[in-house]
Structure 1
Amino acid sequence: MGKNVLVEIGLEELPARFVADAQKQLLEKAENWLADSRIAYASIQSFSTPRRLAVQITDVAEAQTSLEEEVKGPSLKIAQDAEGQWTKAATGFTRGQGKTVDDIYTKDVQGTPYIFVTKQVIGRPTEELLPQFRDIVTSLQFSKTMRWADHKLRYARPIRWLVALFGEEVIPFEITGVSTSNRTYGHRFLGDAVTLASPADYEEVLHQQYVIADPEKRRQMIVSGLQHAELANGITIPEDDELLQEVTHLVEYPTVFIGAFSDSYLRLPPDVLITSMKEHQRYFPVKSGNGELLPHFAGVRNGDEHALNTVVKGNERVLKARLADAQFFFEEDQKQSIDYYLEKLNRIVFQEKLGTIGDKVKRVTAITDKLSQWLDLDEETRSNAIRAAEICKFDLPTNMVNEFTNLQGIIGETYALNAGEKSDVARAVAEHYLPDQAGGKLPETTAGALVSVADKLDTVVGCISAGLTPSGSQDPYGLRRQTTGLLKIVKEWNWHVSVESFLTLAEQQYMDMDSSQEASEATRTAIDQFIRNRMTHLLKELSLEADVIQAVLADDIGIISYIAAKAEKLSHERNNPDFKPVQEALVRVLNLAAKAIRTEVSRSLLATDSEQELYDTYLAVKDDYYEKVHNQDAAEALEQLSRLQGPIHRFFDHNMVMTDEKTVRENRLAMLYQIACLIYDYADLSAIEWKQHI
């Protein structure tokens, strides 16, 4: 049996959003180090709280695993002289490896014999290697870091203590003036400093000091506490995994409690109440059995039940102050009209080169109007969409959104209804921010979808035109998320408008505002490439292969739902052996068509029956193919191209394309070029790795 290892990093309180990732990093880095160091062990577990990150490894081997290593020496030609005696090169090589010439054997390497020896690499004692854990601790990455005192290390928060044990022995190393020991610290208010006798005691010792080191156990304590509160009070506490995760990483010893607030605050919009509780205080909202919000909340204390009533009253006072502010903001906002807030938008800069938010609203309205015409919507839907676009940002200058920024749009819907706007218009004001996160909900109304796409188009095209293309992880305007969102909306609603038309429409709005502001070729290329990258991302989310995506994006993106359908069809056919003859015929045309010098076909030069047949079939297929394209039928469009299979194979079987007769050769290449254009309109099939060949 080996010894156990424990390494704990004691810190000032970490932000909750850092904890889970840091714990994962520590575990993975420890596992990788053990593997690279050839140190055997039985199991490994990580722990985390706001004040500590730790890893515990059981039954760790006393030494590295020894290795047998084959070492290559000089070639046999150099290692032996003409009489077959070992040269100085051979003896020097073996001596350097701790071997003799008796240990030499030969092996061919690419046809040339070399000498080799096998040596055993004896594993070093584990205790000599464990101080390297210092590098694991210092290598943890955080989205935001700091330095403290005169130390150079950048870390999420200052390191206050370090525990590092191999059995009962301390593993010696030091970071930022903090040396390792066997001394850890319990709960900041309820616990004490304690000495660990061995790594195996870690969880239990901390539990006695009011610290639950395993975040999953803390999570279960919170869930059990919430469930008990539901049963005891006859209430419902809606599940909220995101809030539960955050609270889990905010406390070391969780205790659930129920608090209350005045039911007079229930006159506020429910989203305001919920946001005040969740975002500002990390409370769980409480509802009745039929889903109505109640004047109660569930909180999680970082401690035990001692003086819990006092804690509850303190939290109630804090929430009351929050809700009183919200009520004041709400009442003050209602004193002004929508037009009042729209006028204020003209004084709020959206982006220095792109004008004010008022300017943006005008562009969004124009785009919405044009899109509604393209989609041939009924007059009521078009009118609702345009009105929603006109007022979509009016809530931004309100007191409520200034206080609760994540309620933009939601507050807009509430205030629009209070101001007498149609329900569809008000709903579109809220929906135009959707999806608000990756994989988020899409707009459910036509007006909401239209304004959402118009808003996102304006932002993406405008920001990239202003030189704000995201680089690396930096994307302050959320252009990647917004682009993916607009592509998903257009696909979901199956709008038969090409991506290129959308982009041209958005670009036109900036030129209409400033006739001198014409998009440069470089800007158009940057916008196109950015959209293509997000389209690629969207198709990958549909589990489509990279080569298929490359094939369908070889030319213009076109209509999103259609290009996705083409990719899905080709993804299926690439593994279908029955499609192999079709694929071979079409790809063969693509390979030769690039040699075409001219593109016009002369019927008088079609000398053989097989080339006459191919050309006639092409002309018939062409009309039928474009009819299927017009109907956005990806499967049938490919079926029309498949009709060319037989004539293509017969053409190649009975004709030499690259004949010495120049006019015939050029005419045949021109015919193949025309057929290739039809194929390329569907996809670049030569880019696909056809799996049915394997």
Structure 2
Amino acid sequence: MAEDILVEIGLEELPARFIDDAEKQFLQKSQRWLDEQRIAYDSITSFSTPRRLAVMVNGASDSQTSIREEVKGPSEKIAKDENGDWTKAAIGFSKGQGKTVDDIYTKDVNGSNYIFVEKQIIGKETRDLLPAFKDIIESISFPKNMRWAEQSLRYARPVRWLVALFGRDVIPFEVADVHTGNHTYGHRFLGNDITLTSPTEYEKALQEQYVIANPQKRQQLIANGMTQLESDHGFHIPEDDELLQEVRNLVEYPTVFTGSFDNNYLKLPEDVLITSMKEHQRYFPVKDSNGDLLPYFISVRNGDDYKLDTVRKGNEKVLQARLSDAQFFFEEDQKQSIDYYLNKLERIVFQEKLGTIGDKVRRVRKITEQLSQRLALDEQTQANALRAADICKFDLPTHMVDEFSNLQGIIGETYARNAGENESVAKAIADHYLPSQADGKLPDTLEGAMVSVADKLDTVVGCMEAGLIPSGSHDPYGLRRQATGLLRILHERHWDITVESLLELGQKLYLDIGMEQVDHEKAASELDQFLKQRAAYLLQNVASGQDITQALLHDDIGVMPYTMAKAKELSWQRNNSAFTPVHEALVRTLNLAGKTNRQNVDPDVFQTASESDLFAVLQQAENMFASANSRQNAHQALQELARLAQPIHAFFEHNMVMSDDAIIRDNRLSLVNRIAALVYSYADLSAIEWKQQFESV
């Protein structure tokens, strides 16, 4: 007989950003437990609101599935004596499995006979196993936890009630001194207490008490409400899935409404208005058909439409205060010059060992200057980039950024433009913070890209020098994101600059500073490995397998766009069966590469035509490969290496490399080593699992 299972955790209001992951954990851990316990079921569903996490299992079997298990015992040599009788080992084995020696049979295992018995494991009653849900509940993890009262359990918020039902029966257990029951709660202000007689009543009973337990349904209700407001008022609400998901996790019973603010506030920068609405109040901004901001906002009430006008006025009043503050900050900030704020940077510490923000800006300028020279920029672009580097952080001490920290750079762009800086400089100030996420938008302008790389390079190198290496989830300076952003910009901009040369540039700045008690060699090694990890992360987006990534990063990262192009080329060729003999030939040279360090080849020592032919093709390939390499043509460079395949096969067929004659042997090894060096300069092809790939095609 099948029954439904319901388990609900009632909590104080959870932070919105915790809810989706916690719900996912609860669902997955419950599924895994049911499968491990061999409890069959028809379906499983999860629910969440700010005050609850729940799972519903439909059609759960009333007992575990019984299984037959074959149990292996000792070898037959141990199980029987010289007379063929069962030994104590065999008798003990069968008895331990609840069987007798009459149940023993033998099977061959890798050429030797072993004894076995087959036993049936009868499934237990499901109701006897369900109290283990206590362990599932306690295992849910959160980004931040707390303790309350005398409890040892660490959880995001205190547990206030527990519902646990198997059919009509309560599943008995307790968590943090809260015992399970069949009693749940409706909306904090609009609903009543609910006594459940079965799990199937759950969702409907909550809805009757103003709780929409399904988060997708709440989100759809909000979306439908906004669509209706758009139709009623003729305005446009820009899509914002992130805000929509957050708002759905702030309410249990959503009612969408619109409010307004004074037209005069539209004189403020759009980003300031949107941030005031979204970040502080979780309001949706409103625009017209041309994309211009309108003096309206959309909010979502946690409740019904009772006295909605009063709620609207209250929200308008709160936003009015926010915008009034923003206007004051905006006007006060612009009473001061850019130089005034730059002077303030000298008193803001970036990092104890790395100096002030002012120190950082000077390092960013030096790196930007070096980049300008390496990229051979025209005078105007170089001047713009250097000016942007000089003032890239000037907005940090402003009142506006102090109030709205996520507007750093954006406010700088606005204030710089208002102060008369040219458009390229102003835009670069905002651009240099991009990407704000590992896969986020990259800088639009060349100047912004240069300052962004300089800023990120300084942060990554400096923090590594200071020993601030990310570990696990601990990465307070966002070094992973910054390193990834740096590499993405190099790739996107197709800059012919090696990653290693940039790292050397950044390290030199810190060597010149003379940081005390720093092992620069150790820091350089850690920095190299850290950047390779970030490069590997990006390469895996274009290469089919970690082995290709390893092949390309066996030495340096090199020029990022060229390395990415190689990854695409090798990823394609590994699935090209015609390339198999090429791979085999080139890898044969790599396998012998360590036999000598020499690459000087003497044609006068050659004994066979195949040696001469291979050397002639190698000399041609070296020139053509160098040309393709300089043009960073990954396909052509690999094709030049492929030209060596046939003469390599002929060479190994007609020559004994390890000749008894030392002169001949060393000359042949030098030839092989010279080819291997050329191959290694492209990638370590021996690291790629070609054979395995071709077998699966």
TM over 0.5: yes
Residue in 1 that maps onto 2:479: 479
Q: Secondary structure at the match of 2:330?
A: helix
Residues 147 and 255 of structure 1, relative CA distance in 2, 3 Å threshold: same
* 1:441 aligned onto 2:441: yes
Check the 8 A contact 1:487/1:560 in 2, yes or no: yes
Distance between the aligned counterparts of 1:74 and 1:544, measured in 2? 44
* 1:464 aligned onto 2:492: no
Residue in 1 that maps onto 2:257: 257
Residues 662 and 98 of structure 1, relative CA distance in 2, 3 Å threshold: same
Which has the larger displacement, 221-230 or 286-295?
286-295
* 1:336 aligned onto 2:336: yes
* 1:59 aligned onto 2:59: yes
Q: Secondary structure at the match of 2:204?
A: helix
Distance between the aligned counterparts of 2:590 and 2:412, measured in 1? 54
Residue in 2 that maps onto 1:210: 210
Shift of residue 99, structure 1, vs aligned partner: 2.5
Residue in 1 that maps onto 2:453: 453
* 1:408 aligned onto 2:434: no
Residue in 2 that maps onto 1:383: 383
Residue in 2 that maps onto 1:242: 242
User: Which ranges of structure 2 fall in alignment gaps of 5 or more residues?
Assistant: none
Letter of the 1:579 partner, please give it: F
Residue in 1 that maps onto 2:601: 601
Check the 8 A contact 2:43/2:58 in 1, yes or no: yes
Residue in 2 that maps onto 1:7: 7
Matches within 5 A, 1:27-426: 27-426=27-426
Letter of the 2:322 partner, please give it: R
Shift of residue 115, structure 1, vs aligned partner: 2.4
Which has the larger displacement, 125-134 or 682-691?
682-691
Check the 8 A contact 2:542/2:567 in 1, yes or no: no
Q: Secondary structure at the match of 1:212?
A: coil
Shift of residue 77, structure 1, vs aligned partner: 3.4
Distance between the aligned counterparts of 1:433 and 1:55, measured in 2? 42
Shift of residue 513, structure 1, vs aligned partner: 3.8
Distance between the aligned counterparts of 2:114 and 2:375, measured in 1? 74
Distance between the aligned counterparts of 1:89 and 1:206, measured in 2? 61
- In the TM superposition, what whole-angstrom CA distance separates every residue of 1:51-97 from its partner, at most 9, and x where no partner exists? 00000011111111111111223333343444444444444433333
- In the TM superposition, what whole-angstrom CA distance separates every residue of 1:301-340 from its partner, at most 9, and x where no partner exists? 0000011111111111111111111011001001000000
Residues 149 and 84 of structure 1, relative CA distance in 2, 3 Å threshold: same
Check the 8 A contact 1:511/1:517 in 2, yes or no: no
Check the 8 A contact 2:574/2:694 in 1, yes or no: no
Distance between the aligned counterparts of 1:320 and 1:84, measured in 2? 95
Q: Secondary structure at the match of 1:444?
A: coil
Residues 394 and 658 of structure 1, relative CA distance in 2, 3 Å threshold: same
Residues 527 and 444 of structure 1, relative CA distance in 2, 3 Å threshold: same
Shift of residue 519, structure 1, vs aligned partner: 6.7
Shift of residue 617, structure 1, vs aligned partner: 1.9
Shift of residue 49, structure 1, vs aligned partner: 0.1
Q: Secondary structure at the match of 1:497?
A: coil
Shift of residue 233, structure 1, vs aligned partner: 1.1
Residues 588 and 96 of structure 1, relative CA distance in 2, 3 Å threshold: closer
Shift of residue 597, structure 1, vs aligned partner: 5.3
Shift of residue 211, structure 1, vs aligned partner: 0.2
Which has the larger displacement, 76-85 or 379-388?
76-85
Q: TM-score, normalised by structure 1?
A: 0.98
- In the TM superposition, what whole-angstrom CA distance separates every residue of 1:231-273 from its partner, at most 9, and x where no partner exists? 1111111110000000000000000010111111111111000
- In the TM superposition, what whole-angstrom CA distance separates every residue of 1:326-366 from its partner, at most 9, and x where no partner exists? 01100100100000000100111111111110011011111
Residues 62 and 454 of structure 1, relative CA distance in 2, 3 Å threshold: same
Distance between the aligned counterparts of 1:347 and 1:542, measured in 2? 44
Letter of the 1:510 partner, please give it: Y
Distance between the aligned counterparts of 1:352 and 1:606, measured in 2? 64
Letter of the 1:136 partner, please give it: I
Q: Secondary structure at the match of 1:541?
A: coil
Which has the larger displacement, 543-552 or 20-29?
543-552
Letter of the 1:484 partner, please give it: T
Shift of residue 515, structure 1, vs aligned partner: 8.8
Residues 653 and 346 of structure 1, relative CA distance in 2, 3 Å threshold: same
Residues 134 and 264 of structure 1, relative CA distance in 2, 3 Å threshold: same
Check the 8 A contact 1:342/1:394 in 2, yes or no: yes
Q: What is the alpha-carbon root mean square deviation over aligned residues?
A: 1.4
Distance between the aligned counterparts of 1:462 and 1:654, measured in 2? 56
Q: Secondary structure at the match of 1:184?
A: strand
Q: TM-score, normalised by structure 2?
A: 0.98
Check the 8 A contact 1:628/1:634 in 2, yes or no: yes
Q: Secondary structure at the match of 2:681?
A: helix
Letter of the 1:116 partner, please give it: F
Distance between the aligned counterparts of 1:232 and 1:270, measured in 2? 24
Which has the larger displacement, 649-658 or 219-228?
649-658
Letter of the 2:48 partner, please give it: S
Residues 607 and 422 of structure 1, relative CA distance in 2, 3 Å threshold: same
Check the 8 A contact 1:4/1:60 in 2, yes or no: yes
Distance between the aligned counterparts of 1:524 and 1:146, measured in 2? 39
Shift of residue 566, structure 1, vs aligned partner: 1.1
Residues 377 and 67 of structure 1, relative CA distance in 2, 3 Å threshold: same
Which has the larger displacement, 578-587 or 444-453?
578-587
Distance between the aligned counterparts of 2:522 and 2:327, measured in 1? 50
Matches within 5 A, 1:476-555: 476-514=476-514, 520-555=520-555
Check the 8 A contact 2:543/2:567 in 1, yes or no: no
Check the 8 A contact 1:173/1:180 in 2, yes or no: yes
Letter of the 1:13 partner, please give it: E
Letter of the 1:567 partner, please give it: A
Q: Secondary structure at the match of 2:595?
A: coil
Q: Secondary structure at the match of 1:133?
A: helix
Residues 527 and 87 of structure 1, relative CA distance in 2, 3 Å threshold: closer
Distance between the aligned counterparts of 1:306 and 1:248, measured in 2? 20
Residues 313 and 493 of structure 1, relative CA distance in 2, 3 Å threshold: same
Letter of the 1:641 partner, please give it: L
Distance between the aligned counterparts of 2:113 and 2:614, measured in 1? 59
Check the 8 A contact 1:63/1:123 in 2, yes or no: yes
Residues 601 and 515 of structure 1, relative CA distance in 2, 3 Å threshold: farther
User: Which ranges of structure 1 fall in alignment gaps of 5 or more residues?
Assistant: none
Matches within 5 A, 1:577-616: 577-596=577-596, 598-616=598-616
- In the TM superposition, what whole-angstrom CA distance separates every residue of 1:13-67 from its partner, at most 9, and x where no partner exists? 0000000000000000000000000111111100000000000011111111111
Q: Percent identity?
A: 62
Letter of the 1:546 partner, please give it: Q
Letter of the 2:441 partner, please give it: K
Check the 8 A contact 1:146/1:155 in 2, yes or no: yes
Letter of the 1:137 partner, please give it: I
Distance between the aligned counterparts of 1:512 and 1:5, measured in 2? 67
Q: Secondary structure at the match of 1:469?
A: coil
Q: Secondary structure at the match of 1:557?
A: coil
Q: Secondary structure at the match of 1:448?
A: helix
Letter of the 1:426 partner, please give it: A
Check the 8 A contact 1:71/1:118 in 2, yes or no: yes
Distance between the aligned counterparts of 2:210 and 2:36, measured in 1? 36
Distance between the aligned counterparts of 2:516 and 2:611, measured in 1? 53
Check the 8 A contact 1:511/1:518 in 2, yes or no: no
Distance between the aligned counterparts of 2:517 and 2:66, measured in 1? 70
Shift of residue 543, structure 1, vs aligned partner: 4.1
Check the 8 A contact 1:388/1:425 in 2, yes or no: yes
Distance between the aligned counterparts of 2:17 and 2:190, measured in 1? 24
Residues 685 and 186 of structure 1, relative CA distance in 2, 3 Å threshold: same
Letter of the 2:451 partner, please give it: V
Residues 517 and 122 of structure 1, relative CA distance in 2, 3 Å threshold: closer
Letter of the 1:613 partner, please give it: D
